[in-house]
Amino acid sequence: MSPFLLTRTMPADATDAALRADVLHGLTRNPKTLPPKWFYDAHGSDLFEEITRLPEYYPTRAEREILLARAPDIAAASGARTLVELGSGSSEKTRYLLDALPALDSYVPVDVSESALRGAAEALLAQRPELSVHALIADFTHGLALPGTPGPRLVAFLGGTVGNLLPDERAVFLKSVRSLLSPGDTLLLGTDLVKDEETLVAAYDDSAGVTAAFNKNVLTVVDRELGADFDPADFDHVALWDPRHEWIEMRLRARRALTVKIPELDLVVPFTAGEELRTEVSAKFRKDGIETELGAAGLRLTQWWTDSADRFALSLATVV
């Protein structure tokens, strides 16, 4: 069996330090914000998996449809011998690409969760025992160094997660990805597309209330990790479409005036009745906008695939 290597490129206490910094910064500004990455403790990850199976939540099904149909085209266009996956999680979608890349030598999953990386590697090596897996415990939004693996490399960033970055953050991120690539390497990017407001809002405000529970889970994380006294019942889940920015915003709206204490930060946070805490931005894209953003980062859009209903897109870009 080929080796499984695990490298930590971030300090063991980096997650705790990042949570403290994000909570302190986000809850002392106006309007208040928290980054969406803090949804994903074990319970939050389970809730998100449930969301992906909801009838209203189309992105996962749409992206899977493209991967099933286009994985051979992606493989042929990339010629990849190394697959790098950013935010790999369970690596479930990776299997479609692996099946289309029989000559693949190396897989480099990148995630902040060691348990997710180990579980995914175990499952993948059972399927492809000849594959070399070098997992990285890393935050890909804060600079990344890849191990020495055979080229060409295909860097995959799936799920539409790039939409959680604000425009300036996306520009920095795409330039950082470009810095990892050599001539002949490619970037496979998953992006949710602009569509009618009703479909978009329903995907983030499902009738079963699963997304509401997922949104409020960020408060539970802050309570558990920082000793805060948020009561999720004091907040309503809100999902809104912003047509000017072409993104969905998820917010938590205070149902009454209240004060939250966060002892670990020596912080007291007042909320007025109706005040909103933004927890996620999920940008939706158009082809010309993606092409422009990739171009500004030094990448050239070469392939564009959508699902049968034009809801979601996978794009392939090369180094300029």
pLDDT in tens, 283-314: 999 999 999 999 999 999 999 999 999 999 99
- Structural domain that includes position 43: 1-227+286-320
Q: Which residue has the tokens 């042929």?
A: 76
When divided into structural domains, the chain yields a total of 1
**CA–CA distance, 201 with 238 (Å, rounded to integer):** 10
Q: How many CB atoms lie within 10 A of CB 173?
A: 19
Predicted local distance difference test score (pLDDT) of residue 31: 96
- Alpha-helical (H) ranges within the chain are 14-26, 42-52, 59-78, 94-100, 114-127, 167-180, 197-203, 210-226, 287-296
pLDDT in tens, 176-210: 999 999 999 999 999 999 999 999 999 999 999 99
Residue 260 counted as domain residue? no
Residue 271 counted as domain residue? no
Q: pTM for this structure?
A: 0.93
pLDDT in tens, 33-81: 999 989 988 899 889 999 999 999 999 999 999 999 999 999 999 999 9
The percentage of residues in the chain with a pLDDT greater than 90, rounded to a whole number, is 74
Mean residue pLDDT of the chain comes to 93
Residue 136 counted as domain residue? yes
Beta bridge partners of 188: 156, 316
Residue 251 counted as domain residue? no
Query: Two tokens at 162?
Result: 């790039």
Rounded to 5 degrees, φ, ψ at 71 are: -55, -40
- The CA-based angle 300-301-303, given to 5 degrees, is 140
Residue, of 225 and 128, whose pLDDT is higher: 225
Q: Do the beta carbons of residue 158 and residue 188 sit within 8 Å?
A: yes
pLDDT in tens, 43-52: 998 899 999 9
- For residue 193, the domain's CATH number is 3.40.50.150
Predicted local distance difference test score (pLDDT) of residue 1: 46
Residue 240 counted as domain residue? no
Residue 132's SS3 state is strand
Residue 253 counted as domain residue? no
The percentage of residues in the chain with a pLDDT greater than 70, rounded to a whole number, is 99
Residue 278 counted as domain residue? no
Residue 84 counted as domain residue? yes
